[in-house]
């Protein structure tokens, strides 16, 4: 949906697209590192440690470029609330990694534009015409093809990836209420504050819970004890902190310099990076059903974006 309250002084669509693709490219490497560490670390430890590094870097960049004003948001509670919702999207996404191939997780998680359109009907009272409803139904069919003809939503990884899609859709809806005066660096800083608070709080809540040896790999990823990293693992944690810094800034910046309807379709380049890197690092080739479902899902989502850009 076009936001008539936001004015773009010049056409910087190409710049926004390049910035978005760059951010997603960096985020795809973060997925690889998290998946590599998922059999040894607690997911909350990874998120907490990554966030500490990213928060330090983002705060320094913000102060250096904008001064102390970078740390002061116009709508701090809304930014924090959006950050909490995004935190759960990332948490569910990471938790799915031990249970499903990365390409399948990304495919299911990219159901979020479909869910966002559905939620906009109920939360924003927007009108969705029959052609967009048809695209929504087609998108859900694409997801069902990805999870398999037997309906593998019983797989916890598929459920978690679906939870990620829903949380990200809610987060995207919340973006429409954020004051456009906040800088991308400020939005990213408040997102990291929310990540830090939530990962720390959840870690304290589940601390001391004895994890069973028979736990599903995703649940073991959540309840595993925290461990002290080795030297090379500290480097990996530092790297994902740097990636989060670049990635969150790029995503915020991309939607600031160009209209969302022009930039958002290029989020699907993330699927390309996910498929390529999961093959290079884990020798995971996407199934034919995954590729078919992704094609249907992407096509239906792009149609929805096209219709919304015309409103």
pLDDT tens digits, 232-257:
899 999 999 999 888 888 877 787 77
What is the pLDDT at residue 184?
Answer: 81
4 domain-assigned: no
What is the pLDDT at residue 211?
Answer: 63
Number of domains comprising the chain: 1
Q: How far apart are CA 264 and CA 17, in angstroms?
A: 8
Structure tokens at 80: 């924090």
Q: What pLDDT, in 10s, does the model give residues 59-69?
A: 999 999 889 98
What is the pLDDT at residue 60?
Answer: 93
What is the pLDDT at residue 175?
Answer: 74
134 domain-assigned: yes
* Residue whose structure tokens are 């087609």: 138
Q: Is the pLDDT of residue 308 over 70?
A: no
Report whether 117 contacts 178 (CB < 8 A). no
- Give pTM, 2 decimals: 0.83
What domain range is 35 assigned to?
13-309
As a whole number, the mean pLDDT across the chain is: 81
What is the pLDDT at residue 238?
Answer: 93
252 domain-assigned: yes
Q: Is the pLDDT of residue 3 over 50?
A: no
What is the pLDDT at residue 128?
Answer: 66
Q: Could you tell me where the DSSP H helices lie in 67-183?
A: 76-96, 102-109, 112-123, 130-147, 156-175
Who's near 11: CB < 8 A, 6+ residues apart? none
Rounded average pLDDT over 255-266? 69
pLDDT band per the 50, 70, 90 thresholds, residue 261:
low
pLDDT band per the 50, 70, 90 thresholds, residue 118:
confident
* Residue whose structure tokens are 């034919």: 288
Select the highest-mean-pLDDT range: 222-226, 253-257, 296-300.
222-226
Selected residue with higher pLDDT from 207 and 219: 219
Q: What pLDDT, in 10s, does the model give residues 125-143?
A: 666 667 767 777 777 777 7
Q: How far is CA 71 from the centre of its chain?
A: 23
Q: Is the pLDDT of residue 157 over 70?
A: yes
Q: How far apart are CA 49 and CA 241, in angstroms?
A: 8
1 domain-assigned: no
Q: CB 43: neighbour CB atoms within 10 A?
A: 27
Q: CB 187: neighbour CB atoms within 10 A?
A: 25
Q: How far apart are CA 303 and CA 298, in angstroms?
A: 9
pLDDT > 70: what percent of the chain?
A: 82
């Amino acid at each position: 949906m076009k936001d008539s309250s936001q004015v773009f002084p010049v056409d910087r669509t190409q710049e926004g697209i390049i910035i978005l693709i760059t951010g997603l490219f960096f985020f795809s490497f973060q997925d690889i590192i998290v998946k590599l560490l998922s059999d040894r670390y607690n997911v909350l430890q990874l998120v907490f440690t990554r966030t500490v590094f990213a928060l330090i870097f983002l705060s320094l960049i913000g102060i250096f470029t904008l001064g102390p004003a970078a740390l002061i948001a116009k709508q701090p509670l809304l930014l924090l609330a959006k950050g909490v919702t995004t935190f759960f999207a990332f948490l569910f996404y990471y938790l799915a990694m031990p249970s499903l191939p990365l390409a399948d997780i990304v495919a299911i998680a990219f159901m979020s534009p479909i869910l966002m359109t559905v939620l906009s009907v109920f939360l924003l009272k927007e009108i969705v015409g029959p052609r967009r409803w048809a695209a929504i139904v087609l998108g859900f069919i694409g997801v069902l093809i990805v999870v398999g003809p037997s309906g593998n939503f019983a797989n916890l990884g598929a459920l978690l990836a679906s939870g990620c899609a829903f949380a990200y859709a809610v987060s995207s809806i919340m973006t429409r209420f954020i004051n456009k005066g906040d800088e991308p660096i400020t939005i990213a800083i408040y997102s990291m504050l929310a990540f830090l608070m939530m990962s720390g709080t959840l870690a304290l809540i589940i601390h001391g819970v004895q994890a069973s040896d028979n736990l599903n790999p995703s649940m073991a990823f959540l309840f595993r004890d925290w461990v002290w990293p080795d030297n090379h693992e500290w480097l990996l944690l530092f790297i994902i902190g740097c990636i989060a810094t670049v990635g969150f800034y790029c995503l915020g910046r991309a939607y600031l310099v160009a209209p969302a309807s022009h930039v958002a379709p290029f989020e699907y380049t993330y699927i390309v990076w996910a498929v390529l890197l999961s093959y290079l690092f884990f020798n995971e080739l996407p199934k034919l059903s995954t590729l078919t479902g992704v094609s249907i899902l992407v096509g239906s989502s792009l149609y929805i974006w096209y219709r919304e850009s015309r409103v």
